[in-house]
Amino acid sequence: MKKIGDFVRRIGRRNFLILCFIPFGGFFFYHDGLPGLLAAIFGWWLGGILYEWKDNKRRLKNFLRRRSRFQIKAAVHLIIFIPIAALCTYHYGWKGFLTACAGWCVGEFISRRFLKLN
């Protein structure tokens, strides 16, 4: 175990994550093509964020302090709404897109009117 720890310390955290990513990225690219590679890249990115959570938490707090409440709410809504609307549109066409929009409006109405979240 000590040899592995020395190896990781020598190459550094980020390079170790890249070494772990290469086989998985290659496998998923071979197995699923470009979507598999993009999923591996997303997983690697998310793992890097979680791995360095303390540093990223400080950066995230500084980033959020500079943004207004409207900008943060708009970003959250877009991050949630765009994938759902894309999936509904892909599977059901315009009816799915209109249903996603109607669901979003109903959710906003409920959260503002009954839950008093503004």
Statement to judge: residues 60 and 2 lie in one domain: yes
* One domain, residues 74 and 93: yes
Range of the domain at 114: 67-118
pTM over 0.75: no
Cα 35 to Cα 17: distance, rounded to the nearest angstrom: 20
Q: What is the pLDDT of residues 23-62, one digit of tens each?
A: 877 887 888 888 888 888 887 777 777 767 667 777 777 7
The answer to whether residues 5 and 61 belong to one domain is yes
Residue located via tokens 């993009």: 38
Same domain, 15 and 60: yes
